[in-house]
Amino acid sequence: MNTHKTIFDTTLRDGEQTPGVSLTNEQKLKIARQLDKLGVDVLEAGFPVSSDGERQNVRAIANEGLSLDVCGLARVLTKDLDACIDCNVDMIHTFVSTSDIQRIHTIKKSREEVVAMAVNAVEYIKDHGVKCMFSAMDATRTDLDYLIEVYKAVEGAGCDIINVPDTVGIMAPSSMYQLVKNINNEVNIPIDVHCHNDFGIAVANSLMAAEAGASQIQVTINGIGERAGNANLAEVVMCLHSIYGAKTNINTEYLLETAKMVENYTGIHMPANTPIVGDNAFAHESGIHTHGVLEKSDTFEPGIMTPEMVGHKRRIVIGKHAGKHAVKKSLEDMGIETTEEQLDEILIRIKDIANKGKRICDADLHAVASAVLGRNLGNETIILKEFSVMTGNLTTPTAVVRAKIGDEEAVASNFGVGPIDAALKAVELMIGGYTKVKVRDFSLEAITGGSDALAEVTISVEDEHGRVVSAQSASADIATASVDALITAINILLEKKKLWSME
């Protein structure tokens, strides 16, 4: 499949239909701009007839002057089509149910009526000078002969591209291949596919459709969408590029950046093991793996896809499965040199800690190395003096932090959506003149019970070059634990930066 495929993104339409997700107008506009930067060919901005707010969103995106085509969704109803036309979209995606189960029980139309409605909608769109995509909803449960009849009818009406949706996600990849192959043999306009992930094979079905002749694939960022979601853009694109040798217009170096934006706006967290863009996608802990990767990355990574290709970074993780090479490399990154005997002792202590179920952070490795070498490694650039947080149901959470940074005293205050957010933002503001960092990950776990439970906070901070350092702290006061962990991580990062600046 050494050919070019176009990418149709429906994050702002089907993606926003994810249960519990509701994007603001400004968030939608920012995502649209990001998708344009990413290189998406078509963006489905929304379903304009559904509400006045939705219509305003779609119109704003259509008028943004983006390079991609902006598409609006519409049923085969004149009011829906007019709503899209009123938004000045480049393309209208119109649809009607064609499977017997949906046709009989939802729209209650005969097969002949459905064909007529589809043709009328396509002709209406083309009469208004707009590109048209027609979708036979629930195509994968539609009688094949009838499905082809519908597609041929809209092709004759001037449709630009047809969509084959696996609406309820029930196709096996081999069946998807055969279906698209059959349709491709009968129609002469491009084929697009829209696969749902109910059985976890939306990406596989999309790729099989592409093998069978589909020229365009519908996707969402992070695979969000109705029920179990849609085909994941990053996975589809990187499979096309790296495995199939196909081309798209996607600028893959922005995949992680885009995924993080959508994760942040939707609140749908990506599991660490998410392919391509997850935190663990290029992370290694096993001693055998890390040894190999440190020698040559292709030994335990695909090779045909590197972290740099998708805007990611390789990470060596220290834990119970870590080997001597990984620990040595991590210590060297901190500017710590050891003898073989010291290295062996550090490895033993690290494994002892990890075997008790504790996640090993950079701060832990630093502390263990200090103990084994019998000296304090590095200085604390930032020494916390005091901090306070004011919050309540009538007060915007506000934090004030005072610390000694080098030989100077610094004070900063900031607001947040909660006391922890305010405290962390105050620290970031306070150290802004010394180094640029942002909180990359934050996790909280209660390690004792009761209202006075001891909480353990783990924080990862990232500098302007994408380098990450992690630290933990435990306290009955969550805000205290959070600030302590953050400052510990920043201190280690500052020590590392001194080393990096000498390289």
Residue 128 CA, distance from chain mean position: 37
Question: pLDDT tens for residues 451-483?
Answer: 666 777 888 888 877 778 888 888 888 888 888
Q: What are phi and psi of 438, to 5 degrees?
A: -140, 150
Decide if domain 283-373 falls under CATH 2.60.120: no
417 CB-near residues (< 8 Å, 6+ apart): 397
Q: pLDDT at position 206, please?
A: 98
pLDDT in tens, 62-119: 999 999 999 999 999 999 999 999 999 999 999 999 999 999 999 999 999 999 999 9
Helix (H) or strand (E) holding 146: helix 144-156
Helix or strand run (H / E) with residue 186? helix 173-186
Between 149 and 330, the more confident residue is 149
Q: Which residue has the tokens 């069978």?
A: 212
User: Residue-wise over 317-353: b if at least 16 C-beta within 10 A, else e?
Assistant: bbbebbbebbbbebbebbebebeeebbebbbebbbeb
Is a pLDDT exceeding 70 seen at residue 391? Answer: yes
The answer as to CATH 3.40.50.10860 being correct for domain 382-502 is: no
Tell whether the torsion through CA atoms of 12, 223, 253 and 281 is positive or negative.
Answer: positive
Residue 20's pLDDT band, with cuts at 50, 70 and 90, is very high
Average pLDDT value for residue range 331-352: 83
Question: What's residue 499's pLDDT?
Answer: 56
| Whole-number pLDDT of residue 450 | 66
Residue 160 scores a pLDDT above 90: yes
Location of each CATH 3.30.160.270 domain in the chain: 382-502
Q: In sequence order, what are the beta bridge partners of 316?
A: 284
**What gap in Å lies between CA 322 and CA 247, rounded to an integer?**
38
pTM of the predicted model as reported, rounded to 2 decimal places: 0.81
Considering only residues 238 and 374, tell me which one the structure prediction assigns the higher pLDDT.
238
Please name the amino acid found at residue 372. Answer: V
| The pLDDT of residue 287 is above 90 | no
Q: Which segments of the chain belong to CATH 3.20.20.70?
A: 6-266
CB 131 within 8 A of CB 91: yes
Mean pLDDT of 356-381: 74
pLDDT of 298:
72
CATH 3.40.50.300 corresponds to the domain 6-266: no
Task: Compute the C-alpha angle 230/231/236, nearest 5°.
Answer: 165
Percent with pLDDT over 90 in the chain:
58
> Which among 351-360, 405-414, 445-454 has the top mean pLDDT?
405-414
Range(s) for CATH 1.10.238 in the chain?
283-373
Find tokens 């942040």 and name the residue: 264
pLDDT at 411 over 60: yes
